[in-house]
Structure 1
Amino acid sequence: MENWKVQNDDDAEFIIEKYNEKLSETNRYKLAIETKIKSLKDKLSKVNDEEREIIERRDSYLAEYFETIDEKFKKKSKTQEKYRLPSGSIVKKYPNPQFKRSEDKLLNWIKSNELNNYVEIKEAPKWGDLKKLTQVVNGQVIYKETGEIIEGIELIERSPVLEFKEE
């Protein structure tokens, strides 16, 4: 079969049928594996949910207890309070606030207060528009109007792709 080549439509049909049989088996096997993966992912999700519930239940008991502990036994900082136990520490964290910004409103405020040092101006090429004014000559991208080679663009040729589509 190594030296054999498709020489006519009958040979092409023979190859299609032969390899479709092989594809059928690999597709069946692939489906079986995907089913097994889905089953395992479902089991993992249930275990993760169970783990989350256990941790939440444990932490709710500890949070309730933490509030009853005398302040003199807690170690405090700006961002947290901590109470040490032999099995670990109960830590109550005070995270920094989250900032939800409206870029448009913030930009208007900055401009109205003349704080222009806090405005970022970003330049970017409009490649989609410029591309319409170019052509490829001998592997180079040329600006049609002047014939000048455009710097900053590398042309990467790609091989054609042959595919078979069933009808």
Structure 2
Amino acid sequence: MDLRLSDVFLPVEETEQEGFRVDDDLKADWCLDKIREANAEYNRFEMVVNAKIEQLQQALKKAQEKRDREVGFFEGKLREYFETVKAKETKTQKSYSLPSGKLVLKYQQPEFKRDEDTLLNWVENNKPQFIKIKKSVDWSNLKKNVKVVNDLIIDSQTGEIIEGVTIEEREPKFVVEVE
């Protein structure tokens, strides 16, 4: 068992008592050591879990590939069979019913592949009514021209109150940096 001076100086059980206080540099440094150890233990645990997740994902991927091959094989055979039977036909599809399911061939609408720049140029010149314009506030530049007075946002040039912005004060954030 590896016994350290900090463990003798301040046993772990004492840290769990509400009466524990950091009142000198030695105790503060001990706390930083404990934080470092907790982070290292978590990182080790995380590595093991991530390795296990990777292993399980690989197993799942193999199972999925096997399923896809099997389903693809049987769907191909069913498609061949579908071509030999008299299926019910509507404007949008052909279908053939069986006790365990239905074989369906759906007619699809064509897919429109667009070159947005070329299309936008054409629409601007020929059909401008089909142009969408999205407006948004440039907050980073507007913020440079405002000041806060009594929880109000004021335009620093005109003195007007700017509507649509509220201020929410936040507590300072305490950060412990472990080296």
Instruction: Compute the TM-score of the two structures, normalised by the length of structure 1.
Output: 0.83
Residue 86 of structure 1 aligns to which amino acid in structure 2?
A: P
Residue 23 of structure 1 aligns to which amino acid in structure 2?
A: N
Tell me which moved more, 118-127 or 60-69: 118-127
The answer to whether 1:86 aligns with 2:99 is yes
1:21 maps to what in 2? Answer: 37
1:6 maps to what in 2? Answer: 22
| Structure 1 residues without counterparts, runs of 5 or longer | none
Of 86, 101, 104, the residue aligned with 2:114 is: 101
Instruction: Provide closer, same or farther for how the CA distance between residues 118 and 23 of structure 1 changes in structure 2, counting only shifts above 3 A.
Output: closer
Deviations 1:90-137 (A, max 9, x none): 111222122222333333333433x44323233322222212211223
1:55 maps to what in 2? Answer: 71
1:137 maps to what in 2? Answer: 149
Deviation at 1:148, TM superposition (A): 1.9
Does the Cα contact within 8 Å between 2:32 and 2:178 map onto a contact in 1?
no
Instruction: Provide closer, same or farther for how the CA distance between residues 24 and 128 of structure 1 changes in structure 2, counting only shifts above 3 A.
Output: closer
1:128 maps to what in 2? Answer: 140
Q: Aligned runs of 1:34-73 on 2, under 5 Å? A: 34-69=50-85, 73=86
Aligned partners of 1:164 and 1:88: how far apart in 2?
Answer: 62
Residue 80 of structure 1 aligns to which amino acid in structure 2?
A: Q
Tell me which moved more, 77-86 or 25-34: 25-34
RMSD between superposed Cα atoms in Å: 2.1
Residue 33 of structure 1 aligns to which amino acid in structure 2?
A: V
* Runs of 4+ with deviation above 6 angstroms: none
Deviation at 1:8, TM superposition (A): 2.3
Deviation at 1:57, TM superposition (A): 0.9
Deviations 1:43-70 (A, max 9, x none): 111111111111111111111222233x
Deviation at 1:88, TM superposition (A): 1.6
Of 105, 110, 125, the residue aligned with 1:112 is: 125
Q: Percent identity?
A: 39
Secondary structure in 1 matching 2:171: coil
